[in-house]
Structure 1
């Protein structure tokens, strides 16, 4: 991304966040590039700039203020932004993504500073290719797109949901080194059914009810075709669509274009990895594990499907594998006698008498693992968690709903109500818990362990498709990186500080799978790890002269 390729100098250079170095421009660069006088005279190293950023960041009194500060930095100097985030990932990730990004989306119209990404509306039918041509960077490889209908556990936020694609793509770069110029966030603004939002004068989206039916499908079809035309090497990630559209879009396009749904497949992969680690702690092998899901939407069904794939890979027949996964939705246990089940739940509807609530389902099924993907805060009550502890010596309790305010229970509750025996993971971060002198470190089942590495592997191999097998391989790779030290602390995932290493390992595995399955026209390199390293962006300043 050298400056001479763009012909930028002076103020234009300072206003390009991918090229701007701020006070780090050298004396020679200031002379040659027309920057003399446009910057304070003192020249700083990037390390000194990082110190300044951290000083300002840590003085902010709320997480939302910290989010606004970091996004403002990203908008003026992306290299410095990613240097700060990558070097302080434990501190920064909860701000640039869950849980703070949820609050940012809720306040999007109030904190808006500068547009980022592309907004496509129903009024743009027939001209989506032209909109994509407006994007200034031609080599787009990763696109995260949402219609804002199901933002985290917060529901329909319409165009305010743009914070999710922006945040996800920041993690692609920070966690896996996908170059920021290759990332494109997209909001398909088809209205919102959130009436208070529509009536908010500062709402930035289309203030109309959601578009449904054939017109919606036609808009998405045009968008997918336009992406394939304009960015033929891009991978398309569907994010935070409502359940019906999420399953329909994945089914419609997974065999046509390079795409996946992170809520279905990414969540499944990180959860399966956590279950494999939990098996090492509990002594109950995955092949013997009964799993009860609270929530039967895209995340829960996606996890169930991938667990079935993992069990089939171990030689278990599909009917028996499905029988190990049970679901509770808002109407009770998902069983064959129910007549109200939508199509994606039917494959997990087992023969069993009706059961009305979660507590009764636990007593009936006696699960080894309880997985919360409901978006229902505090759904794992003391009675529920204690029942899991009574049934199991080491109960597995995953409260995966995001943001933190939607978690089914807290880490402290899970440990306290089981006398410290719970194997716990959550979607958003919880602090370590000290109980009877022992420190328990909760795992964070964050999709950021999975999707950046999968995306990097797709990009590096130039795979034409994303398959479920890739997410199975990613889960196995992630689980294999959990150390005995991690397990001794109760952690079912590697330390977040290792996420670049994790992403690289997953990328190698995914790229290898693409080559093995003939999903790319590229010749497999002798050094696959070297190919991955070459593709990983490092946020260091370039010399422009």
Structure 2
């Protein structure tokens, strides 16, 4: 992995000087520049006299941040720091991940995307649109760094908020911040890309501060040609680059993943990353129940990318434990806006057909629970409050320890809160959430919910793919990531109701997942070079540690 020039590593003649240096976020240290550096780099006079340590700078950032009254204001303040001093930004994020992750990603990033035109300051990443056809390679060559990792979106399905057009750029920026903070992928190697193909959101088209292309969404062949040119150009300009598809609508997400997955190093986090983190949570829950995976029956509220992605990986895991494909499929059921997905329903989308079973139609989720008697319900439809008290009580009547995953985000779209899940199941629920919730006191016990957040999975997958030089990202890699994550949940976590490790362990988690992913790449002949003698050590050696 390439290492960028740093103030500590470069000689004075290698570096920009004076104000140009202070304006370069990859090199700027602000008030931490030493007396010797100030003299050598033409900084004398630009900075106040006192030289601060990085820790003192970080403490000051946190003190200021905690004085702000809204999460959106904190998001803007952190964005300003990111634009000014990347090393300090990632030091602050890494050292305060529990507090900062909800601010730079879910749930706050959803509000930030909705307000993106109002809070936009400095561009970060590349915007590519229909007018760039025929010149996308030139545009990518404008990027000044050697990208190894691209997160790309077209903004059509941002979290559970729908079509936010170019405002969705907040998602690739936030995801890549987590790659660096959680898995040590160097920020110089990270490129956020917005495919700005317009928006069908009338409010945005009429918003005077909307930053994007003011036209209806491009579709059909013209859309596919733009994406194809981008994919071709990205791999030409950045050989071996890993491309993560993010927040595409269902009709594009499945199709694009299927089109490129066997010929490029790509994955879709909404489909595959969500699947891995959910499978890991399910495996952790079974440690508490003592049950076997092949005895579970899963009922999904939702039938899109997340639901079918999770179901596909669960089916693969069940088959790996001895079930036939037909048996495994029959243990996974979907409920969409029209009710239970069943075989005799006309007009089913292709991605739903695999889970359309023989069953009389059922119109509502609660009746589906009472009929099918699932051991787990998994909410991924972005329907806030859908896990009603009646739903939760019905699950408790069927199961001694009901598994309840309310994975939709942001918080306004969550199927239920942690407090609701525990209270309406008498504290018996094994709960995971898509948005953060505080510990819950119930019947003299403290229950600690943890997010089934994709940040447990995708940073480590990307790290492993980059460290091994993987040519493809496969479902087997996500399976390995899920089992690795579940293995890292300890007994103390399980006893307090936590199905995932504590977030401050995230860099350790990512290193182990990276090693597991790299091992698959080497074993399957998808990696470049020879297998290192110490795989975990090799992966850890690739991890960026933000410091001066």
Specify the TM-score bucket, using the shorter chain as the normaliser: over 0.9
Note the residue ranges of structure 1 that are not aligned, 5 or more in a row: none
Are residue 262 (structure 1) and residue 266 (structure 2) matched?
no
Are residue 316 (structure 1) and residue 323 (structure 2) matched?
yes
Residue 390 of structure 1 is matched in structure 2 by 397
Are residue 499 (structure 1) and residue 510 (structure 2) matched?
no
Residue 76 of structure 2 is matched in structure 1 by 68
Aligned residues: 540
Are residue 12 (structure 1) and residue 20 (structure 2) matched?
yes
CA distance in 2, matches of 1:337, 1:156: 31
Cα distance, 1:167 vs. partner?
A: 0.2
Task: Tell me, yes or no, if the aligned pair for 1:140 and 1:233 is still in contact at 8 Å.
Answer: no
| Residues 156-171 of structure 1: pairs in structure 2 closer than 5 A | 156-171=163-178
Are residue 184 (structure 1) and residue 188 (structure 2) matched?
no
Note the residue ranges of structure 2 that are not aligned, 5 or more in a row: none
Residue 139 of structure 2 is matched in structure 1 by 131
Structure 2 residue aligned with 1:2, among 6, 23, 43?
6
Residue 299 of structure 1 is matched in structure 2 by 306
Bigger drift between 446-455 and 347-356 goes to 347-356
Are residue 406 (structure 1) and residue 410 (structure 2) matched?
no
Cα distance, 1:459 vs. partner?
A: 0.4
| Residues 51-62 of structure 1: pairs in structure 2 closer than 5 A | 51-62=59-70
Residue 363 of structure 1 is matched in structure 2 by 370
Could you say what secondary structure the match of 1:362 adopts? helix
Cα distance, 1:521 vs. partner?
A: 2.5
CA-to-partner distance for each residue in 1:88-126, whole Å, 9 max, x for gaps? 100000000000000000000000111100000111110
CA distance in 2, matches of 1:383, 1:356: 16
Task: Tell me, yes or no, if the aligned pair for 1:73 and 1:81 is still in contact at 8 Å.
Answer: yes
Cα distance, 1:286 vs. partner?
A: 1.1
Residue 42 of structure 1 is matched in structure 2 by 50
Could you say what secondary structure the match of 1:388 adopts? helix
Residue 101 of structure 1 is matched in structure 2 by 109
Residue 524 of structure 2 is matched in structure 1 by 517
Task: Tell me, yes or no, if the aligned pair for 1:397 and 1:425 is still in contact at 8 Å.
Answer: yes
CA distance in 1, matches of 2:450, 2:68: 27
Task: Tell me, yes or no, if the aligned pair for 1:426 and 1:445 is still in contact at 8 Å.
Answer: yes
C-alpha RMSD of matched pairs (Å): 0.8
Cα distance, 1:533 vs. partner?
A: 1.3
Task: Tell me, yes or no, if the aligned pair for 1:142 and 1:236 is still in contact at 8 Å.
Answer: yes
Structure 1 residue aligned with 2:259, among 246, 252, 258?
252
Task: Tell me, yes or no, if the aligned pair for 1:147 and 1:240 is still in contact at 8 Å.
Answer: yes
Cα distance, 1:530 vs. partner?
A: 1.6
Structure 2 residue aligned with 1:208, among 179, 192, 215?
215
Cα distance, 1:407 vs. partner?
A: 0.2
CA-to-partner distance for each residue in 1:217-250, whole Å, 9 max, x for gaps? 0000000000010011210000000001000000
Residue 110 of structure 1 is matched in structure 2 by 118
Cα distance, 1:305 vs. partner?
A: 0.3
The TM-score normalised by the length of structure 2 is 0.98
Cα distance, 1:76 vs. partner?
A: 0.3
| Residues 453-468 of structure 1: pairs in structure 2 closer than 5 A | 453-468=460-475
CA distance in 1, matches of 2:291, 2:243: 37
Task: Tell me, yes or no, if the aligned pair for 1:482 and 1:493 is still in contact at 8 Å.
Answer: yes
CA distance in 2, matches of 1:517, 1:68: 44
